[in-house]
Amino acid sequence: MTTFRFSRIQLRNWRNFSNVDVPLARRVFLVGPNASGKSNFLDTFRFLRDLVIDGGGLAKAVQARDGISKLRSLYARTITDIEIRVDVANEHVGWRYELAFTNDPEKDQRPFVTHERVIRREGATEIPLFTRPDADDKRDPKRRGQTFIQQVTRNEQFRDLAEFFTEISYLHLVPHLVREGQPSLPSAIGPDPFGRDFLDNVRATGKATRVARLKRIQDVLEIVAAPLSNLELVTDGSGRPHLQVRFKHWRPRGAYQSEQQLSDGTLRLIGLLWSLQEKAGPLLLEEPELSLHSALVRKLAPFIHRAQRAGNGRQVILSTHSVDLLMDPGIAAEEVLVVRPTNEGSVVEDGPAIRDVSKLMSAGVPASEAVLPLTRAEQLSLFDSTSL
């Protein structure tokens, strides 16, 4: 079966955003100025994953984000619902998931479901599977502290959708956390987003798959980091996993190095290449260009496209500020989302909805020239005369 992907997202009163309604391509480039809400936009998908993953659920997902007051948009003028709606589809079937929640009337920071619905689409036919609150919710309001999608006793008819949410992954690998091998934060749900458990996840992968993936990564490293070869995973005397790579120099056998000696850029590249090979749901990437040489960054967009075609076509949604990454002429306007702050909250627009962007990119102008100028802070020129 063709891989599911998100095809649309709608948000109301979610963090930076008062109102969002945008389509989503299989490869998405999210651009915008600092503090505009790009990370918060990506976090919506992580929130959906946290609803259904082991150890998660609505209460835990909200708690991990410091409660309702931190999730509700600062632009909301009243205590109003936080709403998320997503459309999910492949070539054969589609789903819509709708969730709205607010404060529990009795326990202020606990979430309280005000609306939840799942619709299944088959061609032009829409089949609502349930709508909440239902009669049982009204009889027993405590039920509204949980979503149906997180409950295996409730989600049998739409478990494909729930399982799709569990497959969402996020990567913003922080090299020193990989090197230190620190445990995940107590409030974390699922895999650590910053790579604390990256090496453990590599080790947990079946040996044949692990060796094959590391070999493909090694092939890339031998092109972009010529002295490095023989990438493998080893275990030290205490049972802790390590990456090991041979550094070629004047000695015939070279010298072996672990993640402790590898550069930040090399570690981030290894994490990126590993993630792109995983056969799972959407992959969320935050500024994958960090620590990488500009010449390599210019190759990332087409490389991601080739990885999608060679694998299972997993959706990739990434945020970036990089001119080099967005120079690729293969990036279409439909793949670009622009986040712009306003006095009423940040807005998100897709490329075709922005007239000048659509015209320029249709004429062959790359996203780096058609889109990035729109994300420049209006008062940036004042920085020239600013001192500490």
Ordered DSSP codes for 187-255: T--SS-TTSTTHHHHHHHS-HHHHHHHHHHHHHHHHHHSTTEEEEEEEE-TTS-EEEEEEE--SSTT-E
Residue-wise pLDDT tens digits, 106-140: 776 789 999 999 999 988 899 999 999 999 999 99
Percent of the chain with pLDDT over 90: 77
Spell out where 90-227 has E strands: 94-103, 111-122, 125-132, 169-171
Look at residue 1 and tell me whether its pLDDT is greater than 50.
Answer: no
Assess whether the previous peptide bond of 133 is cis (omega < 30° from 0): yes
Residues of the chain with CATH 3.40.50.300: 1-168+281-375
Look at residue 249 and tell me whether its pLDDT is greater than 80.
Answer: no
Percent of the chain with pLDDT over 70: 94
Q: Does domain 1-168+281-375 have CATH number 2.40.30.170?
A: no
Look at residue 239 and tell me whether its pLDDT is greater than 50.
Answer: yes
* pLDDT at residue 19 in the model: 95
Look at residue 195 and tell me whether its pLDDT is greater than 70.
Answer: yes
Look at residue 266 and tell me whether its pLDDT is greater than 70.
Answer: yes
Question: In the predicted model, what is the mean pLDDT of the chain?
Answer: 91
Residue-wise pLDDT tens digits, 270-285: 999 999 998 889 999 9
Chain centroid, CA 26 distance in Å? 13
| Residue closest to 268 by CA, chosen among 195, 196, 197, 181 | 195
* pLDDT at residue 382 in the model: 52
* pLDDT at residue 254 in the model: 66
* pLDDT at residue 139 in the model: 95
